[in-house]
């Protein structure tokens, strides 16, 4: 490798050499998929020709040899390394990509080997004999896949679990991406259609998470500076319950919409903030709570100093209020749709009782304190490890309320309260862990608090616990 290649200054490359390099990457990607999935004869979701693995291997090696003989400088390796450097060094996208790759590959690795080594805690739903292809079929993923394939069930028997409890943004995107995966192919058995739509959901989640990290880095850079922004992104991606960002769940989409709405709202880009806020309102039942911090930010503008021109710009204030209301508008739009389908207002809310989400006041807290008093912390953890993990995550988030208020703003501290406290009184510890994974102000405040030398240690500790959470979730333990 010459000095130009070592320092990243590469000479121009002809177009046909670029085409060969692109072909090498594409064929290598197909080869990796076939090796991982044992998909050596059936192609990839019927869209990639049925080419055997040996032929692909020979093609990659042959193209690399041809490329090196006819155009040795810059080499293909140098070009690939240079492309990676250009991506990794981009001011906002680079930290997002690094955090994404460092954690998503780890989650996939842990998921596959946990299923292989430990097996499934319970059979769950098995769509195919291939454990890799069946990997996305976990818990609520089947509900989202069913909505994407067949739509909402108008049955209003609130004593049973119904799919009207799930909001439409994720299944709508799964249906759109599923077209690329061949989920709508005629004559395909229902199980195979579900497999394809769930992998489309994985693709949606991963893309949304990467874009969400990009927005998060931009937001963090405004508040903390570029060095702290990269650390904040790594903490968010390594967080124990961030394993749900790799599943066909709503966490990635919710994070993306929330962070993007906050970023554009802070820059007074009301139209963009409104669109992202509306998406959040269509993503999850608690998405409309995003209107609370956004509304508080508008109130802070109005209560600002009298000499502050932006605080007295009433047309801008009206646009800000409209943007802040969009998460509520998204929720109401779905509520209205369900009313036309079922004849029941807020049918999605009433259906949550079948999942154990009903208001019981202080009973969950009283029961938890009594249990701790009787059994002790270790005894409770052994008897109910999943509830303990969810409770610890909720406790961590609640402890971060004051740092968030100081470092990020009171409005975002209130946001943590309104997201976490209502479900604590209506279901206890159920799913609290994955709710905390989308509370991005926590990771902003944590990155601002921690000394720079402590960030890697926290990220490693988070990542180890994320491996545990991934192993539990993907082997059908009740961490949901």
Cβ pair 24, 64 in contact under 8 A: yes
User: Are the beta carbons of 99 and 233 closer than 8 angstroms?
Assistant: yes
- Looking at residue 458, the DSSP 8-state letter turns out to be H
Q: pLDDT (tens digit, 9 = 90+) per residue, 278-325?
A: 999 999 999 999 999 999 999 988 887 654 555 567 788 899 999 999
Confidence grade of residue 18 (pLDDT, cut at 50, 70, 90) = confident
CA 134 – CA 165 distance, rounded (Å): 24
- Higher-scoring residue by pLDDT: 133, 459: 459
Q: Give the 3-state secondary structure of residue 119.
A: coil
pLDDT in tens, 158-211: 888 889 999 999 999 999 999 888 888 888 888 989 999 999 999 999 999 999
Contact 479, 433 (CB under 8 A): yes
Residue 405 CB neighbour total at 10 angstroms: 17
Rounded mean pLDDT, 449-466? 94
Q: 464 pLDDT band (50/70/90 cuts)? A: very high
Mean pLDDT of the chain, nearest integer = 86
Give percent of the chain with pLDDT exceeding 70: 87
Tens digits of residue pLDDT in 352-363: 877 766 666 666
**Taking 80 as the threshold, does the pLDDT of residue 5 lie above it?**
no
Sign, CA torsion 338/342/348/350: positive
**pLDDT value of position 6:** 47
**Smallest Cα–Cα separation from 115: which of 101, 104, 130?**
130
User: What residues have CB less than 8 Å from 462, skipping those under 6 apart?
Assistant: 235, 238, 239, 240, 242
SS3 356: coil
Residue 368 has pLDDT above 50, yes or no: yes
For residues 46 and 38, what is the distance between their CA atoms, to the nearest angstrom? Answer: 14
Question: What confidence score (pLDDT) does residue 380 get?
Answer: 67
Q: How confident is the model at residue 244 (pLDDT cuts 50, 70, 90)?
A: very high
CA distance 261 to 90: 22
Q: Which of 4-8, 52-56, 222-226, 284-288 has the lowest mean pLDDT?
A: 4-8
437 falls in which pLDDT band (50, 70, 90)? very high
The band of 63, judged by pLDDT with boundaries at 50, 70 and 90, is: confident
């Amino acid at each position: 490798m010459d000095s130009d290649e070592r320092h990243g200054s590469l000479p121009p490359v002809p177009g046909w050499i670029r085409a060969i390099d692109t072909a090498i990457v594409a064929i290598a990607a197909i080869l990796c998929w076939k090796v991982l999935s044992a998909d050596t004869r059936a192609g990839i979701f019927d869209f990639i020709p049925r080419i055997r693995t040996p032929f692909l291997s020979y093609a990659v090696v042959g193209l690399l040899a041809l490329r090196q003989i006819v155009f040795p400088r810059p080499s293909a390796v140098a070009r690939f390394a240079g492309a990676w450097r250009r991506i990794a060094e981009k001011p906002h996208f680079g930290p997002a990509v690094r955090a994404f790759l460092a954690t998503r590959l780890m989650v996939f690795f842990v998921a596959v080997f946990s299923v292989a080594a430990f097996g499934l805690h319970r059979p769950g739903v098995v769509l195919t004999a291939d454990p890799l292809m069946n990997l996305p079929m976990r818990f609520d993923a089947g509900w989202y896949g069913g909505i994407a394939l067949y739509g909402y069930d108008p049955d209003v028997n609130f004593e049973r679990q119904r799919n009207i409890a799930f909001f439409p943004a994720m299944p709508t995107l799964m249906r759109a991406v599923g077209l690329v995966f061949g989920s709508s192919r005629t004559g395909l058995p229902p199980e195979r259609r579900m497999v394809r739509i769930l992998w489309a959901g994985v693709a949606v989640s991963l893309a949304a998470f990467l874009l969400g990290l990009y927005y998060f880095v931009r937001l963090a850079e405004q508040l903390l500076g570029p060095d702290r922004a990269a650390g904040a992104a790594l903490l968010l991606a390594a967080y124990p319950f961030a394993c749900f960002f790799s599943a066909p769940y709503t966490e990635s989409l919710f994070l993306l919409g929330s962070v993007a709405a906050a970023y554009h709202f802070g820059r007074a880009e009301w139209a963009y903030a409104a669109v992202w806020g509306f998406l959040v309102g269509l993503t999850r039942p608690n998405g409309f709570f995003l209107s609370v911090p956004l509304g508080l930010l508008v109130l802070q503008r109005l209560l600002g100093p009298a000499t502050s021109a932006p605080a007295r710009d009433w047309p801008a204030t009206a646009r800000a209020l409209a943007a802040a209301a969009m998460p509520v508008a998204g929720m109401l739009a779905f509520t209205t749709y369900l009313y036309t389908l079922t004849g029941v207002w807020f049918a999605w809310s009433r259906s949550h009782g079948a999942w154990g989400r009903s208001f019981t006041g202080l009973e969950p807290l009283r029961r938890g304190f009594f249990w701790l008093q009787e059994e002790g912390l270790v005894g409770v953890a052994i008897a109910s490890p999943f509830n303990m993990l969810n409770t610890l995550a909720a406790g961590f988030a609640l402890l971060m309320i004051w740092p968030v208020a100081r470092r990020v703003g009171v409005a975002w501290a209130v946001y943590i309260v309104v997201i976490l406290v209502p479900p604590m009184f209506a279901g206890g510890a159920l799913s609290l862990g994955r709710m905390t994974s989308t509370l991005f102000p926590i990771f902003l405040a944590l990155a601002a608090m921690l000394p720079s030398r402590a960030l890697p240690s926290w990220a490693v500790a988070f990542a180890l616990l994320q491996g545990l959470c991934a192993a539990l979730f993907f082997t059908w333990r009740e961490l949901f």
